[in-house]
Amino acid sequence: METKRIIISILICMSMTAFGQKLPPTIKDAFGRTVILHGLNTAGGAKHSKDNQPWITENDVAKENTEFGFNTVRYLIFWGAIEPKKGEYDENYLAEVKKRVEWYTDRGMYVILDIHQDVYGYGVGGNGAPAWACTQTKIQNLISDKRAWWMQNLEPKVIKSYVTFFKYDKRKDLQQHYILAWKKVAEMFQDNPYVIGYDLMNEPHGGNLANTLCGKFEKKQLSAFYRRLIRGVRSVDSTRYIFIEPRSFGVNFGMKSYLPRIKDAMPDGENKLIYAPHLYLIFVDVGGNYNKKYQRKLEQWFSHRIKEAKLHKAPMLIGEFGLSPGKKDFDKYLQDIFTRANQQKASWTYWSSDPGGWGPLKGDKSPSPILHELVSVYPKATAGQLKNFTYDSKTQTFLMTYICDTTIAAPTEIAIPKSLYPNGYVRSVAGLSGWNEETDATTGALKIYADEHGQEVTVFIRPKE
């Protein structure tokens, strides 16, 4: 049975190569290698913690990197914590963020900084915007959370806050301060190459549902906001990626986005945008399990997202997706997501690292069943053209094909999480007459140095029997 599965995945891999599929754009590192990002969102708990910092310690970061093989974090920061008083930045908060960001980057993990919000901001019972930028200017208690939390976006004071923020002509100061806050953050991390980019706004929402669903919010307001914001960020940083999200309402469930092509504002005309949508099919938040109907919804979600990523001429990161391990077939759902993501060479960051609930660790930090699905072998950096790769969490087998480029000085690196193969693994490399290999002492990643340019290389990894 196992052999049959392996043969089938080899055949799929080979046929995709043979028919010469058009390859989507990919993320590149400083050496020109194709990069795949895998990691967690850190963390939901920071939204309302006393210092707006996540639960994580430096040891937890090390474990994510070595045991679980993650090379990335989507790190949540908040406009309300950056600029709690209008025009005054909280330097202590920023210093604490910097300290934690370096826990990741000092060990070569990538950090995506995400200015997060849900339910607009702190003045209206949500998180994100400072109270002074809300229609109610005192910090409010959380709106009670009996329904799905995003239903709170229907509260009149929340709607009014979103509408006011996006009406640039009436309240220019709000967006201008948001842009200045991003410039402040970007300037702080300019010298840290492992800060890979900035996720401009978590799950943008226009407030008014009619405008949101007919497309007006994305076509007019959100696109204009992104243009202003991208120009602002590029005035201080022209090296990092900028992650853009479509509107959240409806798109997260699988509807299409109306966001028109967003262009970067790099001085040399280069495009360093990454399309970073979120994936939350309805069954995840309300009743129900993963079934045929939601399989079709998942197809629909991917088919829209692939078209949209092409429109923006950007690689894709699934910035958030997640669910409770209590849902029947949660594992099948995650496997289906990863199969499709891998076909697109899309990166992902799971929601979220918070222990308990949907997290890969339980409240006592022991592994939850989610972890097993998230930990995988993947090509974290490919020196050449990554044609395709697959990983099967049941058989723990990995297969990749790439065309090697020996003009790239750095090796191809395959993440092999230390927790994955307690009895060791077997690897085979085909297509090269000679190569050198190394195992990264800290992370266990396999590094392959090819000696012939332009060869099609196939790497296969499976557990030792």
Looking at the Cβ atoms of 44 and 232, the one nearer to ligand 9MR is 44
Residue nearest to ligand 9MR (CB): 118
Cis peptide before 341 (omega within 30 of 0): no
d(CA 263, CA 272): 9
Number of CB atoms found within 10 A of residue 300's CB: 15
| 352 upstream amide cis, omega within 30 of 0 | yes
68 binds ligand 9MR (CB under 6 A): no
**Least separation, in Å, of the C-beta of 178 and ligand 9MR?**
18
Nearer to ligand 9MR, 47 or 345 (CB): 47
Going from the C-alpha of 39 to that of each of 321, 350, 352, 415, the distances in angstroms are 11, 6, 9, 12
Q: Quick one: 278 or 312, whose CB is closer to ligand 9MR?
A: 278
Cβ nearer to ligand 9MR, comparing 74 with 340: 74
| Closer residue to ligand 9MR, CB minimum distance, 89 or 149 | 149
417 binds ligand 9MR per the rule CB under 6 A: no
Give the nearest distance from C-beta 270 to ligand 9MR in angstroms: 30
Number of residues engaging ligand 9MR in binding (CB under 6 A): 10
Instruction: For residues 149 and 322, give the distance between their C-alpha atoms in angstroms, rounded to a whole number.
Output: 15
CA separation (Å) from 336 to 20, 24, 330, 340, 438? 23, 19, 10, 6, 32
Write out the DSSP string of 313-360.
T--BEE-EE---TTSTTHHHHHHHHHHHHHHTT-EEEES---SSTTSS
Among residue numbers 231 through 250, which ones bind ligand 9MR (CB under 6 A)?
none
Residue 44 makes contact with ligand 9MR by CB under 6 A: yes
By the 10 Å C-beta count (0-12 exposed, 13-18 middle, 19+ buried), 191 is classed as exposed
Q: Tell me how far, at minimum, the Cβ of 127 lies from ligand 9MR, in Å.
A: 6
Residue 171 Cβ vs ligand 9MR, minimum distance, rounded to whole Å? 24
> Helix, strand or coil for residue 74?
strand
Give CA torsion, residues 418, 424, 429, 433, to 10 deg. 110
Q: Are 384 and 403 in contact (CB under 8 A)?
A: yes
Residue number, 166 or 249, with CB nearest to ligand 9MR: 249
Q: Of 76 and 188, which has the nearer Cβ to ligand 9MR?
A: 76
How near is the Cβ of 118 to ligand 9MR at its closest, in Å? 4
**9 or 152: CB nearest ligand 9MR:** 152
Q: Which of residues 263-282 bind ligand 9MR (CB under 6 A)?
A: 278
> Quick one: 280 or 402, whose CB is closer to ligand 9MR?
280
Mask: binding to ligand 9MR, 320-359, rule CB under 6 A, as x and -?
x------------------------------x--------
d(CA 363, CA 365): 5
Cα(297)–Cα(286) distance, integer angstroms: 15
| Sign of CA pseudo-dihedral 5, 371, 342, 302 | positive
Euclidean distance between CA atoms 111 and 99, whole angstroms: 12
Residue from 89, 149, 253, 421 touching ligand 9MR (CB under 6 A): that is 149
In sequence order, which residues have a C-beta less than 8 Å from that of residue 97 and are 6 or more positions away?
53, 75, 77
The least distance separating ligand 9MR from the CB of residue 42, rounded to whole angstroms, comes to 12
CA angle 48, 50, 56 (to 5 degrees): 80
CB closer to ligand 9MR out of 47 and 340: 47
421 binds ligand 9MR (CB under 6 A): no
In angstroms, what is the minimal distance from the CB of 334 to ligand 9MR?
15
Residue closest to 360 by CA, chosen among 416, 321, 317: 321
Q: Cβ of residue 361: shortest distance to ligand 9MR, in angstroms?
A: 15
Token pair for 453: 């340019």
CB of 417 to ligand 9MR, least distance (A): 25
Residue 118 touches ligand 9MR, criterion: CB under 6 A: yes
Point out which residues bind ligand 9MR (CB under 6 A).
44, 47, 118, 127, 145, 149, 203, 278, 320, 351
